[in-house]
Amino acid sequence: MRRCLRKVEHAAATADPALAERIREALSELEAAYARPSERIVALEAVLHEFKKSRPGGETLLGRLLRVAVDRRQGVWARRARRRGTTQTRRPTASLPANAL
C-alpha cells in the first residue's frame, strides 16, 4: 500500500502528461499484491485515505482522478465478489436430488 501511495505522490509531484497512466499502473500493482477482491477493495480505500490525509486543503485535480480511479476499481471488485458468492451459493444446491415427494 505504501509503495502505491509513493508512486501516486511521485506522479503528482512531476509535471507528467502520462499522470493518469502512472496512477493506473500503481493501482494495478497494488491490486496484484492481493488475492481476494475484498482485500483489494480495502487496499484501494487505504491508498485513497492516506493520499487525502497527506494533502489537506480540499480536493485537487489529482485527488479527483485518484478517487474516480479507486471508485471504479472498487466497483469492479465488488461486482466480481458478488458473482463469485452467488456462484458458490448455488453450486452446492445444484447437486441435491430433486424432492421425491
Reply yes or no on whether the pLDDT at 46 is more than 50.
yes
What is the C-alpha separation between 1 and 29, in angstroms, rounded?
10
Q: Is residue 100, in this structure, part of any structural domain at all?
A: no
Reply yes or no on whether the pLDDT at 99 is more than 50.
no
Q: Is residue 12, in this structure, part of any structural domain at all?
A: yes
Q: Is residue 101, in this structure, part of any structural domain at all?
A: no
Q: Which residues of 51-81 are buried (b: 16+ CB within 10 A; e: fewer)?
A: beeeeeeeeeebbebbeebbeebbeebeeee
What pLDDT, on the 0 to 100 scale, is given for residue 16? 66
Q: Is residue 20, in this structure, part of any structural domain at all?
A: yes
What pLDDT, on the 0 to 100 scale, is given for residue 39? 93
Q: Is residue 30, in this structure, part of any structural domain at all?
A: yes
What pLDDT, on the 0 to 100 scale, is given for residue 56? 75
Domains: count for the chain: 1
Cell digits of residue 19: 499522470
| Structural domain boundaries, residue 50 | 2-94
Q: Is residue 64, in this structure, part of any structural domain at all?
A: yes
Q: Across 13-22, 71-80, 90-99, which has the greatest mean pLDDT? A: 71-80
Reply yes or no on whether the pLDDT at 29 is more than 90.
yes
Nearest to 48 by CA among 77, 70, 72: 70
